[in-house]
Amino acid sequence: MKGTRDARLARINPTAAFLGALVVVLIGLFAPGVIGGAVLLALAGG
């Protein structure tokens, strides 16, 4: 299974991955109350 995940990650465009992560972080920072905290906690937890 690990080889499949590595192959899938190798195909991801780095710019798209960065922009996607940036969007998730900004949603976590600007979402109100518990929702924003939950998004950031989920992002930090992996």
Q: What is the pLDDT of residue 3?
A: 64
Sequence spans of domains, the chain = 13-45
Tell me the pLDDT tens digit for each residue of 2-24: 667 777 777 888 899 899 989 99
Tell me the pLDDT tens digit for each residue of 23-40: 999 999 998 889 998 988
d(CA 42, CA 46): 6
Q: What is the pLDDT of residue 1?
A: 54
- For the chain, how many residues are written? 46
DSSP secondary structure string for all residues of 19-36? HHHHHHHHHHHHS-HHHH
Please give the C-alpha separations between residue 29 and each of 17, 33, 36, in angstroms, as whole numbers. Answer: 18, 10, 6
Q: What is the pLDDT of residue 2?
A: 62
